[in-house]
Amino acid sequence: LAKTTQPISMDSYEGQEVNITCSHNNIATNDYITWYQQFPSQGPRFIIQGYKTKVTNEVASLFIPADRKSSTLSLPRVSLSDTAVYYCLAPTSGSARQLTFGSGTQLTVLP
Amino acid sequence: DTEVTQTPKHLVMGMTNKKSLKCEQHMGHRAMYWYKQKAKKPPELMFVYSYEKLSINESVPSRFSPECPNSSLLNLHLHALQPEDSALYLCASSHAGTGEVEVFFGSGTQLSVL
C-alpha cells in the first residue's frame, strides 16, 4: 500500500484558491490517486481521482506530475463550507479498494 | 441512487449487550467495507467483502462479527464491547475491479459503549 504524506493543517480565506500537496513516493504502477473530504461526524466524500497529468471536475482540480510521486489538490475560490479534513489516498487496485487513510489535512477557511 | 444507508445513526449499548449495525446500498457494488473512526483520527479499515465473501480482516477482535447476507446488505454484529470501542462506524461500497473506482461512504453509526 502506498504511504501518503500531507500537511497536517492549512488556513485560507474565503475566495482564495487552496492547493494541498500530497507525497506518495512508493505509489504502484496501477494505483490511482484519490482525494476525499470529510466533515465532522460524517462519512468521507469522494472529491476527485486521477492517474496522471491533470483532472478537473466541478469542485476541484488534481495535478499529477509525470513521476507520480506527488499530487496537488486545487480548490478554487474556497468558502467557509469548505472547512473540512482532506485525505489523499492511493488505494490498491484489485477486486476491492483497500483505502488506507493517512492523517489528512485540516483545512480551515476564515472569513 | 448513489447512497450508502446506515442504521441506526446513533447507538448506545452496555458491555453485555448484543447489537447489530446495518448497511445497505443499491448501486450494484460487489465490494463492501467496514471502517472505524475515533474522534479526530482518520478512518481505519476493519473488514472488506468482495463478492459477498470476506476478503480482508484487519486483525479485528472477535467481538466484532461482520456478515454479508447478499450483495446489497452488510451487517456488523457487536457483542461484549468495551468502552474503548466507542467510535463512528462507517460502511462503504464500491465496484469491484481495477481502474478508476469511487468508494461511497455512508454517514456512519455513532456508537457509545457504556
Q: For B5-29, how does the pLDDT look when each residue is reduced to its tens digit (9 = 90+)?
A: 999 999 999 999 999 999 999 999 9
**Res A2 pLDDT > 80:** no
Percent of chain B with pLDDT over 90: 88
| Banded pLDDT at A95 (limits 50, 70, 90) | low
When scoring A59, A99, A105 by the number of chain B Cβ atoms within 10 A, the one with the most, hence best to mutate, is A99
The β-bridge partners of B66 are: B76
Q: Residue A94's pLDDT is what? A: 65
* Residue whose entry in the numeric block shows the C-alpha cell 452496555: B14
Q: Residue A1's pLDDT is what? A: 62
Instruction: Please write the tens of the pLDDT for every residue from A34-88.
Output: 999 999 989 999 999 999 999 999 999 999 999 999 999 999 999 999 999 999 9
Cis peptide before A111 (omega within 30 of 0): no
| Element containing residue B39 per DSSP (H, E) | none
When scoring A6, A86, A95 by the number of chain B Cβ atoms within 10 A, the one with the most, hence best to mutate, is A95
- Residues of chain A in contact with residue B56, where contact means CB-CB under 8 angstroms, are 96, 98
d(CA B109, CA B6): 7
Mean per-residue pLDDT over chain B, rounded: 94
SS3 assignment for chain A: CCCCECCCEEEEECCCCEEEEEECCCCCCCCCEEEEEECCCCCCEEEEEECCEEEECCCCEEEECCCCCEEEEEECCCCHHHCEEEEEECCCCECCCCCCCCCCEEEEEEC
Coil vs helix vs strand at B85: helix
- Cβ pair A34, A90 in contact under 8 A: yes
| Banded pLDDT at B97 (limits 50, 70, 90) | confident
- Amino acid identity of B39? A
Nearest to A46 among B42, B88, B103 (CB): B103
